Structure 1
Amino acid sequence: MSLNINSLTTGYGQQKIIEQLSVEPIQNGELVAVLGPNGVGKSTLLKAIARLQKYQGDVSLDGEILSQLALSESARRIGYLPQTLPQATSLVAYEIVFSACRAVKPELSKSYIEQIIEKTFSQLGITHLALKQLAQMSGGQRQMIGLAQVLIREPRLLLLDEPTSALDLHWQISVLQAVKQNLAQTGGIGLVAIHDINLALRFCDKVLVLSPDGLVVMGKGEQVLTAEVLRKAYGVKGRVEQCSQGYPIVLVDEAMSA
């Protein structure tokens, strides 16, 4: 089973942000980083797949065309995390996450949801936040609760838009480790829009690079992030090397003039 994206075109009004995007099938258990500079359509792509943005083309999951499913069924299969943080309210984290799961999967028993909450909070390292009001949390803590709301539903497809943007390095690593663990356990598929290329190289199975000139490449990061792709996508002179632990990293020498 896989996620298939064929000839996807989307934008706002008359402005096309993404045109005729087709990529190789994304397989069960894979986490794919969506990379590229601001304005190339990373967030727009995730919104389109989540059916929050109109598009032309075909997007199918496990052989079923998503646009043909009832919206309630899409919500069961797709977990979408936007860039915006959960609203600061007087509700505690446990209540927020419990309600998110019950709203999408009302057939689940209270005891089962409680078990998933305990497991998810433990994976994310946020058990200490369970009874804390969102109004008393930092932006980074609320971002973690937002991620828990998505993971708790055990969706087939995770669409995460900058899930580490408000987090320090420790929590960035924790989030991506938890997402990888979740996909390994559920056999789900994940797309994560992210700016930190080296985090993407460390944790993602593949990268999908979008560039301003329409270049689209997808594959293992160390193979597709060539000097030419870095130049076209980001306007930098750079290269991929290996760190002392054997992981690929991008080193940038300079920003190139426009």
Structure 2
Amino acid sequence: MAEDILGNATVITLPLQDDGTVIIKQSDLTNILPTIDTSTGDWLIAGTDSGVKAKAPTLTVNSTTGHLLIDGQDSGVNVVGPQGIPGPTGDSAVTIKVGSVTTGDSPTVTNSGTATDLTLDFVLPKAVNGKDGDTPTFSIGTVTTGSTATVQDQVSGTTHTLNFTLPLPDMSAYTNTADLTTLLAGKLDKSGLTAYYTSAQMDTKLSAKADLAMVANIADKDTVQNFSNKVDQLTALVNSQDQTIAGLQTQLNTALAQLKTVMAKFNSSATTTSSAT
């Protein structure tokens, strides 16, 4: 068959070298090796269609006629055999359902139904009481002032001590010296009087007099009223801080109650987990 495809035509003549070898160049291979026609799928020998397919045909079976199809063409050959004898009927499907679930000393599963209709009865191990949990206690420690509000929890075992830091109020409105500066405007400093009297004379004349620094600290009626108003404002601010502290106490009590609830749930969950184990 190969001789029919390749034929006897001379494709290339190769000269014999002096050393007895034959040289074949890469360009000579195109005249020697066959190729495949991509449109027909046939072998091309020296550029000529040999009419021989270069690949095996695709074989399929027509599901309707049972005939063998070669490259999609019906060969007329039936390759599907006759239908065999039906096999015996299989067993019916098995059904499974859960029956009773009880507790016992050890886990077991038994079938109280039939071989094809199973009823599984479960015996689960009895629960074991878990260890009682620890109940934490909370108390208020120190309450101080600072730049920012903080709460520090000091823990010792199950005892929690909460230390509070409350922010300081702005007191700049109560430390203004403008009123004092106005009251002392035009007054002569004590050291300036030495140009008129000797130190001894000044001491004699001023022995029964109040010191200037003391006079400066004596407020007039307007200043007293102003300070009184500011004292009232400070009192209101203190009361407000007391209410804030009371609010924090209420929030703390609420947090303690919530924590108590969480711990109760935690103890219940621990007991349930131990029971499941």
The verdict on a shared fold, with TM-score over 0.5 as the criterion, is no
TM range (shorter): under 0.3
Q: TM-score scaled by structure 2?
A: 0.16
Q: TM-score scaled by structure 1?
A: 0.17
Q: Which has the higher contact order (CA 8 A, sep 6+)?
A: 1
Larger Rg: 2
Structure that is richer in helix per residue: 1
